[in-house]
Amino acid sequence: MLSTLELKVTPFHERTSRLSVAQNWRRWAGYRVVGSYDLSLDHEYWAIRDRAALIDVSPLMKYVIEGPDAARLLHRLTPRDIDRMTVGQVAYTGWCDEEGKLIDDGTISRLGPQHFRLTAAEPSLRWLSMNAVGMDVRITELTDQVAALSLQGPKSRAVLNRVCKDKLDGLKYFRWMNTSVGNVPISVSRTGYTGDLGFELWMEADQALPVWDALMTAGDDYGITPCGILAMDMARVEAGLFMLDVDYTAAPHAWIEGQKSSPLEMGLDWAVNLDKKGYFVGRRALEREKREGSAWRMVGIEVEWEGLERLFAEVGLPPQIPSMAVRESRPIMCDGKQVGYASTSTWSPVLKKYIALAHVQRPYYEVGTSVLMEVTVEHHRKYAPAKVVKLPFYEPAWKKK
């Protein structure tokens, strides 16, 4: 069969493919999704930061975990304290192997006392099943059956209030609720991958198009804009959010120990509940790391513009940096030696700063440390002065309000 050779298309493909002027497609978990609709990313990026951006995130892996032991499984699988999660809550989490190294990350939504939805970047059925041995739990993958839309930006709530049966004003940050659009039942979570006000909408794949259409119509007055994953990539760096396979390697994929990352190294201390009861995978290793301190940390890097300007001025040019996020490793130097590397760097239009997510060794990861980041100036490797800064780079007041 030829079809297994082709990339899958999402339930929104009929709309997204027609709207895409750039026909710039990207692969995401076996699907073909829009990289950018427009020839430049400006319009889509600013939709995230100033209006409402509609992003097709259907390729996210989705699992439903049900049964008397559903909470027990997730409690064992992740460092989050699932016992403290109420129905209606969503939790972001990474999950680890026995050595406390990250396998993947995603969100857990508590749909009912014994009913959860887990999103993941990688296929996780096997890992989930292995950990469920002896448990009374049913794990179902719904990646293809559930379509997902992310509506991000300061106007996203106003748009949803126009189309949803229920008002979204009471929906708090990292909570979800059921409602409907027209006669399509959907669930809405106040989550996203942009660090702005935003929501993710979950619906049956075969009812996806009416939801898309309703949002586009209702959002017109608010400047709703279909947005590809390239603009989202810039926004997620500003929000200090990392990406599997770009900013860290999944432990099972690593060839060597040095490629693995722990959630503490990745700055997820707040999502590692070492005070929770009982065992979870990686607990001992993470406790040890917490005690002894991490060998390196994921930090924010802010390039000092004047310094960059000087490097370019030496060859008679104004600074030239890509206008999109670059997923390319760049050495971070200090005291004449390499002390880390930036895994994603981007120009931030909202901050007007050149920023990067970087892995930096102890003790250089302290906020305020002056470092150098490698840049290419007219085909020559140069080092631009930069600083270690706190993440996120950008957090608007309305994100959690």
Partner 1 sequence: MSVNTYDAIVIGAGHNGLIAGAYLARAGKKVVILERREIVGGAAVTEEIFPGYRFSEFSYVVSLLRPEIIRDLELPRHGLKILPLPSSVTPLDNGDYLAAWADHEPTRREIYRHSPRDAEAMDEYSRVMARAAKAIKPVLSLVPPDPSSMSVRDMLGLLRLGKYAKSLSEKELYRIAKLVTQSSADLLNEWFEFDALKGTKSASGIIGTFLGPHSPGTAYVLLHHYMGEIDGAFRAWGFAKNGTGGVTAAIAASARALGAEIRTNAAVKQVIVKGGRAAGVALENGDELRAKVVLSAADPKRTFLGFVESQYLPDEFVTQIKSFRVRGSSGKVNIALSALPQFTCLPGESPLHKGAISISPSIDYIERAYDEAKYGQFSKNPYIDIIIPSMIDRDMAPPGHHVMSCFVQYAPYDIEGGWDDQKRDAFGETVIRTLERYAPNIRRIIVGKQVITPKDIERIAGITGGNIFHGELLLHQLFFLRPAPQWADFRTPLPGYYFGASGAHPGGGVMGAAGKLAAHEVLRDWR
User: What is the closest distance, in whole angstroms, from the C-beta atom of residue 350 to partner 1 in the complex?
Assistant: 6
- Helix then strand count (H, E) for the chain reads 9, 20
User: What is the closest distance, in whole angstroms, from the C-beta atom of residue 319 to partner 1 in the complex?
Assistant: 6
Tokens linked to 202 = 């979950």
Which residue from 305, 324, 333, 387 is in contact with partner 1, where contact means CB under 8 A? 305
Q: Does 155 participate in binding partner 1 (rule CB under 8 A)? A: yes
Q: Does 368 participate in binding partner 1 (rule CB under 8 A)? A: no
Subset of 158-197 contacting partner 1 (CB under 8 A): 158
Q: Does 222 participate in binding partner 1 (rule CB under 8 A)? A: yes
Which residue from 14, 83, 206, 221 is in contact with partner 1, where contact means CB under 8 A? 221
Q: Does 319 participate in binding partner 1 (rule CB under 8 A)? A: yes
Which residue from 178, 320, 338, 370 is in contact with partner 1, where contact means CB under 8 A? 320
**Is 142 in a helix, a strand, or coil?**
coil
Quote the CA–CA distance of 308 and 304 in Å, as a whole number.
6
Neighbours of 255 (CB within 10 A): 8
Neighbours of 137 (CB within 10 A): 21
Quote the CA–CA distance of 315 and 147 in Å, as a whole number.
50
Neighbours of 201 (CB within 10 A): 25
Q: Does 39 participate in binding partner 1 (rule CB under 8 A)? A: yes
Q: Does 310 participate in binding partner 1 (rule CB under 8 A)? A: no
User: What is the closest distance, in whole angstroms, from the C-beta atom of residue 322 to partner 1 in the complex?
Assistant: 9
Cβ-based burial of 331 (10 A; exposed 0-12, middle 13-18, buried ≥19)? middle
Site string for partner 1, 331-360 (x = CB under 8 A): ----------------x--xxxxx------
Q: How far is CA 21 from the centre of its chain?
A: 25
Say which DSSP state 389 is in: E
Q: Which is nearer to partner 1, 212 or 347 (CB)?
A: 347
Which residue from 15, 49, 260, 297 is in contact with partner 1, where contact means CB under 8 A? 49
User: What is the closest distance, in whole angstroms, from the C-beta atom of residue 12 to partner 1 in the complex?
Assistant: 21
Q: Does 376 participate in binding partner 1 (rule CB under 8 A)? A: no
Quote the CA–CA distance of 298 and 315 in Å, as a whole number.
33
H or E stretch at 367: none
Binding site for partner 1 (CB under 8 A): 39-40, 42-43, 46, 49-51, 155, 158, 220-223, 305-306, 318-321, 323, 347, 350-354
